[in-house]
Structure 1
Amino acid sequence: MDDDDLHPLLKAYEGLPAAVAGAGRDPVNTPMIRHWCEAMGDGNPAYTGPAAIAPPTMLQAWIMGGLSGHEGRAQAYDELLGLLDDAGCTSVVATDCEQEYARPLRPGDEVAFDTVIESVSRRKTTKLGTGYFVTTRTDVRVGESLVGTHRFRILKYAPASTRDRASTRDRAPTRDRDRSRKSEEPPALRPRPVVNRDNAGFWEGVREHRLLLQRCAACAVLRFPWLPGCQSCGSPEWDTVEACGEGTVFSYVVLHHPPFPAFDPPYAISLVELAEGVRMVSNVVGTPYDKVRIGMPVRLEFREYDDELTLPVFHQVSQEVTG
């Protein structure tokens, strides 16, 4: 089915509910705020004490359904994804999210939410493949009061390698098909980072093989990831310092599923604490996933994955035995 036939069917789902009368599994609470701030390295005093508020960026955390999910998921969203599956768009990747905050959340607040399918794009061709961007909008409330809005966007797509093989197979004579099967397929591309005005300087540094951290010009606190303002004092003024590249594995998870063409699970995703005190998510390369350990000393390196993508990764520092 071509886009002119499919897109009107997809557009008909805009405005329909994706979740109705959802409720947060737990009230806003101090332990979750503390865990979040520790993981993010956010020491803002507004998030502690008797008058504490929750970090605004935790908005989605209070409405996540966990492994068992939420009750009240609407049929329309599943039907929309089913149409895209039937059209060959069987892969999915989260692309970005946007949040708007109406008022702070405080410990004890019980949140409720409704989610609608806000928009479905026309067919788009990306480096991952060809598919459709689907955006949902979630309005989060406490009682009748709107506290925030969360927009979440995914790309449902047919992987480029799969699409290209199918197209070639349809056109090629039998002898060419046999030859094609024997030829080596090009490796799938890794997803591109989302570069915006707040983090462009970081990615410019990566291209130059420099890991740049932001430093508040008012209180000198370092921060990562890059943000438009200081988490400690709120100042919008900042400069940068270059990280020395030494660090340790603060935490890690091993990803087994879902598979993705550009990766080969299982593999470890690590939270590395740099010598400067900030933490960043990256990969530990050259070490089997089941050998990564908390406290492992690592050193920065820059790895070029293709002509356009360079990423900061880490490798284990050898432990030399003396004596």
Structure 2
Amino acid sequence: MAEYEWLSEVHALVGREYGRVYAWDEVNPMMVRHWCEVMGIENPLYTDPEYAKNSEFGELVAPPAMLQPWCLEGLHMNNYPPGSTDENPYEVLGLLEKQGYASVVAVNSELQFDRYLRMGEKLYYTTIIKEVSEEKTTALGTGFFVTQVMPFYSVKESGDEKVGELLFRVFKFRPARSKESFDNAQAADTQSEAKAATTIKRPRPGISDDTRFFWDGCANSELRIQHCKRCSGLQHPPAPVCSHCQSFDLDYRVSSGKGHLYSHVVMHYPEVPPFDYPNPIGLIELDEGVRMIAGLSGIAPEALEIGQRVEVEFKTFDDDLVLPVFRPESG
């Protein structure tokens, strides 16, 4: 088992409980109704006052699985309501990243519900660093399992009541293929370390007989969309069979590469090399009618607007990897 001097700082955080993060709103029927519509939940116990009145609860209650969403910050990152802590409960992950364990994969996310929530309750949660494992070697690489627990409470005059708990575990690791290069970089000076960090390459796409035409198209600056010879349907991502008529007789059509931004996310954390952050990712609806997920460039994340016109451009990474990204349409 490896034991590094810097691990003492990591271990010192185990058992620490960070301050409260409050919910913006009390548990309310409007948010419950919206959530049920999105999730396809039709239980009248959550949305029908008359039905709920005759239940064992005597009133509407919230779906247990809504426990975590009540305390989310909303559209803008770290936009928590007044009274919430400004501490960073993820600092232990930052300490591991400084030592080269920059990659991350979620391992467990377990919600525990102690009881149903009633309308009008105000919630908050705290974060506890429960455990940092010994250094482990897996197929992904070498790193540490970090376990955090977030207990949720309902504010009560008689004393706050625990109503549930979220356990979240991640694996922070050095990719197996880059461990040797990282160890060499540790022995070099600061400038050599910075140079070594820039050599981390982008993940390569998995290429099969069904998808090779798409990547060959990218290499030739063509955005190729799979086409069915039988029904003329288009589909993306590529598949071995037509999703419209189940025909195996497929080829491709070259897209204009233009469309509009149907939806998007902006990745902030964790920062995984070699990507730049904030990292905007778009769901593009092409003019041909199919949708495609791709990176966005040439526009600040805060300026993104649903529906704005975009067009493809092909960028080369690591000298030979050509990927389609989308930028605002010219003009």
TM-score grouping bracket, smaller chain normalisation: 0.5 to 0.7
The answer to whether the 8 A contact 1:127-1:189 is kept is no
Q: After superposition, what is the alpha-carbon deviation per residue over 1:268-319, rounded to whole angstroms, capped at 9, x for unaligned?
A: 359xxxxxxxxxxxx73699999xx99xxxxxxxxxxxxxxxxxxxxxxxxx
- Aligned position for 1:268: 282
Does the 8 A contact of 1:139 with 1:150 survive in 2? Answer: yes
Conserved 8 A contact 1:113-1:138: yes
Are 1:61 and 2:61 matched, yes or no? Answer: no
Inter-CA distance 100–170: structure 2 relative to 1 (3 Å threshold): closer
Corresponding residue for 1:175? Answer: none
Aligned to 2:85: 72
Change in CA separation of 1:123 and 1:287 when aligned onto 2, cut-off 3 Å: closer
Task: Give yes or no for contact 2:125–2:151 (8 Å, CA) kept in 1.
Answer: yes
- Asked if structure 2 preserves the Cα contact closer than 8 Å seen for 1:188 and 1:261, the reply is no
Q: Would you say 1:253 and 2:269 are equivalent positions?
A: no
CA contact (8 A) 2:152 2:162 kept: yes
For the residues of structure 2 that align with 1:287 and 1:117, how far apart are their CA atoms? 33
CA distance in 2, matches of 1:93, 1:119: 16
* 1:214 aligned residue: none
| 1:138–1:111 distance in 2 versus 1, CA, 3 Å | same
C-alpha displacement at 1:159, in angstroms? 4.1
Match for residue 83 of structure 1 among 95, 99, 102 = 95
Q: Show the counterpart of 1:96.
A: 108
User: Which residue identity lines up with residue 84 of structure 2 in the other structure?
Assistant: E
Counterpart residue number, 2:164: 148
- Which residue type is aligned with residue 25 of structure 1? W
Unmatched 5+ stretches in structure 1: 172-180, 191-208, 211-242, 271-282, 295-323
Distance 1:244 1:137, change over 3 A: farther
Whole-Å Cα distance in 2 between the matches of residues 91 and 160 of structure 1?
11
- Of residues 165, 180, 197, the one that matches 2:181 is 165
Distance 1:131 1:284, change over 3 A: same
Tell me the residue number matched to 1:106.
Answer: 118
- Give 1:117-266 correspondences, 5 Å limit: 117-142=129-154, 143=156, 144-160=160-176, 162-167=178-183, 188=203, 252-255=263-266, 257=268, 260=272, 266=280
Aligned twin of 2:15 = 15
Give 1:97 deviation, angstroms.
1.0
Kindly provide the amino acid, as one letter, of the partner of residue 110 in structure 2: E
Encode CA deviations 1:125-167: one digit per residue, 9 max, x unaligned. 3454432221111111112222111112223333445434334
Paired residue secondary structure (2:97): helix
SS in 2 for 1:103: coil
- Describe the shift of the 1:261–1:39 C-alpha distance in structure 2 as closer, same or farther (beyond 3 A): farther
Q: Distance in 2 between matches of 1:132 and 1:245?
A: 47
Whole-Å separation in 2 of the counterparts to 1:245 and 1:155: 42
> Quick check: which has more Rg, 1 or 2?
2
Distance 1:256 1:16 in 2: 27
* Correspondence for 2:29: 30
Distance 1:160 1:167 in 2: 12
Return the letter of the residue paired with 1:87. Answer: Q
TM-score (norm 2): 0.51
Indicate the residue corresponding to 1:42 in structure 2: 41
Amino acid in the other structure paired with 1:37: C
CA shift for structure 1 position 109: 0.9
Report the AA paired with residue 101 of structure 2: C
| TM-score, L = length of structure 1 | 0.53
Amino acid at match of 1:252: S
Q: Is the 8 A contact 2:200 2:274 kept in 1?
A: no
Change (3 A) 1:262 1:27: same
Residues 28 and 108 in structure 1, CA contact (< 8 A), matched pair in contact too: yes
Query: Structure 1 residues 129, 268: closer, same or farther in 2, change over 3 A?
Result: farther
